């Protein structure tokens, strides 16, 4: 499965107080998706318990769903 990633021009850095820049929420969400996807892959390769894999899948689904629509009903806040 491939997840399209918006280009940087769509998710520019946000200016904070002073001259500091911070990444926007979408970039942080994409980082969360990459991290949990890598964790899921490692756990599958290492033969982790089924409940650990299931929790990783659930968390990955949550991050992808909230990237698409953060106001979905039924999602924990």
Tell me, yes or no, whether 48 lies in a domain.
yes
Q: State pLDDT tens for residues 6-61.
A: 888 777 777 777 767 777 788 889 999 999 999 999 999 999 999 999 999 999 99
**Which burial class, exposed, middle or buried, applies to 23 when counting CB atoms under 10 A from its CB (0-12, 13-18, 19+)?**
middle
- Judged against a pLDDT cut of 60, whether residue 65 lies above it is answered with yes
Asked if the structure places residue 75 within a domain, the reply is no
Phi, psi angle pair for 22, to nearest 5°: -130, 150
Please indicate, yes or no, if residue 55 is contained in any of the structural domains.
yes
Q: CA angle, 46 as apex, 31 and 43 as ends, to 5°? A: 30
What's the pTM?
0.76
Does residue 10 belong to any structural domain of this protein? no
Quick check: is 14 in a domain?
Answer: no
- Report yes or no on 64 lying in a domain: yes
The band of 76, judged by pLDDT with boundaries at 50, 70 and 90, is low
**Within a domain: 4:** no
| Contacts of the segment 3-12: beta carbons below 8 A, 24+ positions apart | 3/33, 3/64, 5/30
Measure CA 54 to chain center: 16
Q: Does residue 17 form part of some domain? A: no
Domain that holds residue 50: 25-68
Q: What is the domain count for the chain? A: 1
């Amino acid at each position: 499965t491939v997840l399209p990633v918006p280009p940087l021009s769509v998710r520019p850095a946000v200016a904070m107080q002073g001259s500091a820049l911070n990444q926007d929420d979408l970039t942080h969400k994409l980082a969360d998706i990459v991290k949990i996807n890598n964790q899921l892959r490692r756990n599958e390769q290492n033969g982790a318990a089924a409940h650990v894999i299931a929790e990783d899948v659930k968390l990955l689904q949550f991050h992808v769903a909230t990237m698409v629509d953060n106001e979905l009903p039924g999602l924990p806040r």
